[in-house]
Amino acid sequence: MSPETPPDDLVARAAAILRSGGLVAFPTETVYGLGADAWNPRALALVYRVKRRPAEHPLIVHVAGGSALDELAREIPEQARRLAARFWPGPLTLVLARHPRVPLEVTGGQETIAVRVPAHPLALSLLRAFGGPIAAPSANRFGAVSPTTAAHVRDDLGEDVELVLDGGSCDVGLESTIVDLTAGRPRVLRLGGLSEEALSEALGEPVLSGKSADVRVPGNLSSHYAPAAELSLVQASELEAKVREANRTGARVSVLVPEGVTVPEGVSAKVLAADPGGYAHELYASLRELDRAGAELVLAVPPAALGVGRAVLDRLERAAAPRPTQRSR
What residue ranges bind Mg ion (CB under 5 A)?
138
- Sites for ligand TXA among residues 200-219 (CB under 6 A): 215, 217-219
- Sites for ligand TXA among residues 171-200 (CB under 6 A): 175-176, 178, 189-190
**Least Å from the CB of residue 113 to ligand TXA:** 5
**Least Å from the CB of residue 116 to ligand TXA:** 6
DSSP 218: G
Candidates 15, 43, 94, 95; binder of ligand TXA (CB under 6 A) is: 95
What CA–CA distance (Å, rounded) separates 89 from 120?
A: 8
What CA–CA distance (Å, rounded) separates 212 from 191?
A: 14
Task: Please enumerate, as own/partner, the contacts of 210-214 that have beta carbons within 8 Å and a separation of 24 or more.
Answer: 212/180, 212/183, 212/187
**Least Å from the CB of residue 50 to Mg ion:** 13
- 57 binds ligand TXA per the rule CB under 6 A: yes
E strands present in the chain = 24-26, 33-37, 60-62, 73-75, 92-98, 112-116, 134-135, 163-164, 177-180, 187-190, 208-209, 230-233, 253-258, 268-272, 297-300
**Backbone phi, psi, residue 248, to 5°:** -65, -20
**Least Å from the CB of residue 306 to ligand TXA:** 20
Pairing verdict, β 33-37 and 24-26: antiparallel
Partner whose binding site includes residue 136, from ligand TXA, Mg ion, none (CB under 5 to 8 Å by kind): ligand TXA
**Least Å from the CB of residue 96 to ligand TXA:** 8
Complex with ligand TXA: residue 136 or 163, whichever CB lies closer: 136
Q: Assess contact for 146 and 192: CB atoms under 8 A.
A: no
Mark residue 77 as left, alpha or beta (left: phi above 0; alpha: psi -120 to 50; beta: remaining). Answer: beta
**Least Å from the CB of residue 125 to ligand TXA:** 16
Complex with Mg ion: residue 138 or 176, whichever CB lies closer: 138
Partner whose binding site includes residue 114, from ligand TXA, Mg ion, none (CB under 5 to 8 Å by kind): ligand TXA
What CA–CA distance (Å, rounded) separates 173 from 193?
A: 8
Candidates 79, 138, 149, 195; binder of ligand TXA (CB under 6 A) is: 138
2-41 footprint of ligand TXA as x/- string (CB under 6 A): --------------------------x-xx-x--------
**Least Å from the CB of residue 238 to ligand TXA:** 32
What CA–CA distance (Å, rounded) separates 141 from 134?
A: 19
**Least Å from the CB of residue 259 to ligand TXA:** 26
Complex with Mg ion: residue 138 or 254, whichever CB lies closer: 138
What CA–CA distance (Å, rounded) separates 215 from 223?
A: 18
- 93 binds ligand TXA per the rule CB under 6 A: yes
Partner whose binding site includes residue 178, from Mg ion, ligand TXA, none (CB under 5 to 8 Å by kind): ligand TXA
> How many Å is the maximal CA-CA distance in the chain?
60
Decide: residue 266, CB within 10 A, 0-12 exposed, 13-18 middle, 19+ buried.
exposed
Residues that bind ligand TXA (CB under 6 A): 28, 30-31, 33, 57-60, 93, 95, 107, 110, 112-114, 118, 136-138, 175-176, 178, 189-190, 215, 217-219
